[in-house]
Chains A and B, each alone.
Chain A
Amino acid sequence: MSDLNLDRRGLLGAGIIGAASFGLGTGASAKNPAPLAPHMTKADYAGAMKAFRGVVGAEWVFGDEEAVAPYAKVYVPDPMNRHVPIGAVCPESVEQVQELVRIANQYKQPLWPVSTGKNMGYGMTAPATPGQVVLDLKRMNRILEVDADLGTCLLEPGVTYQQLKDYLVENNIPLWIDVPTVGPIASPVGNTLDRGVGYTPYGEHFMFQCGMEVVLADGQVMRTGMGSIKGSTAWQAFKWGYGPYLDGLFTQSNFGVVTKMGLWLMPKPPVYKPFMIRHPNMEDTPKIIEAMRPLRVSNLVANCNLMMSASYQLAMFKRRNEIVPDGAPLDEVSLKKAAKANGLGMWNTYFALYGTEQTVGAIEPIIRASLTASGGEVLTAAEMGDNPWFHHHATLMEGGLNLDEIGLLRWRGAGGGLAWFAPVAAARGVEAERQTALAREIVEKWGFDYTAAYAIGWRDLHHILALLFDKSDAEQEKKADSCYRELVTRFGAQGWASYRTGVNSMDLVAQQYGAVNRDFNARIKHAVDPNGILAPGKSGII
């Protein structure tokens, strides 16, 4: 690691202790005011905020505690109040973003860009390190192009999945969107930049991204792929352009501010048929994965499957004390009983078939045979009716919108605490079995529940564990923080690092990918953003 890198890490990663704090109006409490970035003075901050007002107008710059409050709400554990922004600025155009970036360089004021800021259990609008002003891009919410023939669109970062869906419906364009679980309020651009996933065959979002416009840290505007060719009609049609493929550099990173993104949209298929496979025992984990993998690798099942544990499912619509008394462990007998009463198994795997009557009719018997042999009951709308869990997944798998998963936040006590833990493995049953055992051991040791699912990708498994806690209980929040760190560390030691993580653990996860990778990222960062003004600490990159 270079000296410069060490220096920047020391400056920006120092945390609250020893950092300058001027109580200039932040999202933190008066007792624990959020600090400025350590290299900044009160005058620097005031100067930057004044200049920001000159660009976007005073009504779109927020600095006092009350105004910053909506930017400070987080679900992730943050017992040290480390992830609190010190302000927010809200541009409405690319030109304003360029101006803001130039001002940030002048005052060395770090900016934390967000699209719609609704990544929920990953940190929402909270920054990874102290002293940052949120660059809130939600006002930039234009749908710039939709091509019904090519199935493409070009969006600004503030567009929500709801806006895009409404536009397609209102204009009778038979294209689907692909949503994460909080689609109505989340951003296609933001989710894709965080390499999020959805549940139709276009669920691997970054794979279906095509072309970006990026404001670089020096204020220049760059377009990737075919976007820089004057007169090209293929910006949203051809991903690769010429030379090194640049788009990936701007995902899960802090090398630029993405102000436009192209996406591919799936044509609405003539036939859509959702399925649920119900397995009765926790021990069925490897059988399910082994049965699903060949169906996924061959693409007979083309969408990302969600294999949901009973506890995760129940936590969406029930409270924990409806199943076991407060303070009691979530034992398997009680869980099985509650699952059965709600039409659920201990594992519930959702996927769908998309195509024509002929193609779906040809594939369905193959799938039924394979999954029945795994010990599962193969269920469809005919059997599940209006079961709310089936309805939830059937909605997601056709790009429909709901916010059902926010119900997870009410699982324990007053709720409000959620951190997603998302380690990756190859899609093999034995790996899932080992992961489940390790996760249960760790979360139960800290007094939490194994509320988890597996997202079965083309060849990979994302183990998605919702660490649910009561954020109004300070002791529980501390335990959740410790539990999360143990999960990251012990899974990492087995070779299972996270594909994505919250602002509470970005540095920790980055460490697991090794010194060479970190140093390479740091060298890029220092070359393209020498003043370190774009999202220091994002993905552990300083």
Chain B
Amino acid sequence: MPETDSTGLLRGLLASGAVAAMALAAPAIAGQKLGEPQSIRAPEVIYAKTCGYCHGRNVGPIILGRGLPAESVKYIVRHGQNGMPAFRPTEVKPEELEALAAWVEKSDARKGEHGQ
């Protein structure tokens, strides 16, 4: 598409600093490819993109660095607890949950996290 037309100008505007900022924010793991289902995710990724939106922020209790038993983590993920929703095997796959629960149990506390 020629860069001289109005669309090109708009694209130029859009692609300025914002793109660089977004590239910096990209996670250091291979992402989902077009036309392919989401692959198995590492515990850190699941924590950052699901659990960590509530736990350790303004919403849920801190779960890292407390030595929470992996079996308890697995039960709570599948059943939910009080205000926490349940997560199905289609959302957090069985093998992902195994690794996540073990990772949470062994995790260190993170500075900057705060519970409610």
Contacts and interface: CB of A to CB of B under 8 A. Distances in A.
Contacts of A267: 10, 14
Using C-beta atoms within 8 Å of the partner chain, give the interface range for chain A: 35 or more
A145 interface: yes
B14 A268 contact: yes
Contact of A144 (B15, B34, B60, B88): B34
Contacts of A168: 22
B83 interface: yes
B34 A410 contact: no
B83 A416 contact: yes
Interface in A169-189: 169-172, 174, 184-185
Contacts of A268: 14, 18
Interface stretch (A117-125, A238-246, A282-290, A361-369): A117-125
Contact of B85 (A62, A120, A138, A408): A120
Contacts of A144: 34-35
B27 A166 contact: yes
A88 B1 CA distance: 48
Contacts of B103: none
Contact of A90 (B34, B80, B90): B90
A254 interface: no
B50 interface: yes
B19 A410 contact: no
A78 interface: no
A70 interface: yes
B26 A406 contact: no
A141 B25 CA distance: 23
Contacts of A92: 37
A476 interface: no
A169 B26 contact: yes
A124 B116 contact: no
Interface string B74-103: 000011101111111111000000000000
A116 B84 CA distance: 16
B88 A270 contact: no
Contacts of A374: none
A142 interface: yes
A73 interface: yes
B6 interface: no
Interface in B1-49: 1, 7, 10-11, 13-16, 18-19, 22-23, 25-27, 31-32, 34-38, 49
B59 interface: yes
A166 to B, nearest CB: 6
B38 A136 contact: no
A403 B78 contact: no
A73 B80 contact: yes
A163 B54 contact: no
Nearest to A471: B82
A184 B79 contact: no
Given A174-B15, A270-B14, A410 B27 contact: no
Given A174-B18, A410-B116, 20 more contacts: A88-B88, A141-B37, A163-B38, A166-B27, A166-B32, A167-B34, A168-B22, A169-B22, A169-B25, A171-B31, A184-B49, A268-B14, A268-B18, A270-B16, A316-B58, A356-B13, A402-B53, A406-B60, A407-B54, A408-B83
Interface of B: 1, 7, 10-11, 13-16, 18-19, 22-23, 25-27, 31-32, 34-38, 49-50, 53-54, 57-60, 78-80, 82-91, 116
